């Protein structure tokens, strides 16, 4: 049996119809594909319990919550107990894809302080200072915080500026285009 993937997450592809039925039965009976839990929410001032279900093989779960090698997934153990083993080569083909998705996710989820410690921020700050420090064509100068914010936007590829009107946020965002 092989480990494959699609846009939603990981899949176990069987070599025969009989094996496919065993895989479905195994994953359904052992709760190694989906996990249920309860959360408390407040609706109209009243606390209520709601059931939620998470797909343990979805990209979202694997990228944000799962931090072990793929071979340690609950589904692997369950399939092994059913006498079904996953091809090691297929796992090795999928592992770099998961790693790439995790790197992309964590790259975009850094705090501003973490971004300020990266090389890409210092490179962006140098580029912004080289190009925009000093007098601008309209006769004004950028303040230091404006240069730093522009470098953050440039280094992070996106940033929400929540300054009041008149603080120069339009100027900062215009120089990152």
Is 149:159 a contact under the CB 8 Å cutoff? yes
For the stretch 50-67, pLDDT in tens is 888 888 899 998 998 888
pTM of the model: 0.62
For the stretch 8-30, pLDDT in tens is 999 998 889 999 899 888 888 88
92 pLDDT above the threshold of 90: yes
d(CA 124, CA 147): 10
Residue count (the chain): 177
pLDDT for 125: 93
pLDDT for 91: 92
94 pLDDT above the threshold of 90: yes
Higher per-residue pLDDT: 109 or 2: 2
pLDDT for 156: 80
């Amino acid at each position: 049996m092989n480990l494959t993937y699609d846009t939603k997450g990981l899949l176990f592809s069987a070599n025969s119809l009989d094996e496919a039925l065993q895989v479905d039965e195994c994953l359904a009976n052992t709760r190694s594909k989906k996990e249920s839990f309860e959360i408390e929410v407040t609706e109209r001032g009243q606390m209520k319990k709601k059931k939620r279900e998470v797909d343990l093989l979805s990209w979202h779960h694997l990228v944000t919550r799962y931090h072990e090698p793929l071979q340690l997934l609950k589904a692997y153990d369950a399939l092994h107990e059913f006498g079904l083993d996953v091809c090691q080569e297929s796992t090795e083909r999928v592992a770099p894809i998961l790693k790439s998705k995790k790197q992309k996710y964590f790259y975009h989820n850094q705090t501003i302080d973490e971004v300020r410690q990266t090389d890409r921020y210092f490179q962006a700050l140098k580029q912004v200072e080289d190009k925009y420090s000093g007098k601008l064509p309209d006769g004004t100068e950028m303040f230091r915080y404006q240069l730093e914010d522009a470098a953050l936007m440039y280094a992070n590829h996106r940033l929400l500026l929540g300054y009041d009107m008149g603080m120069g946020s339009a100027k900062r965002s215009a120089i990152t285009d």
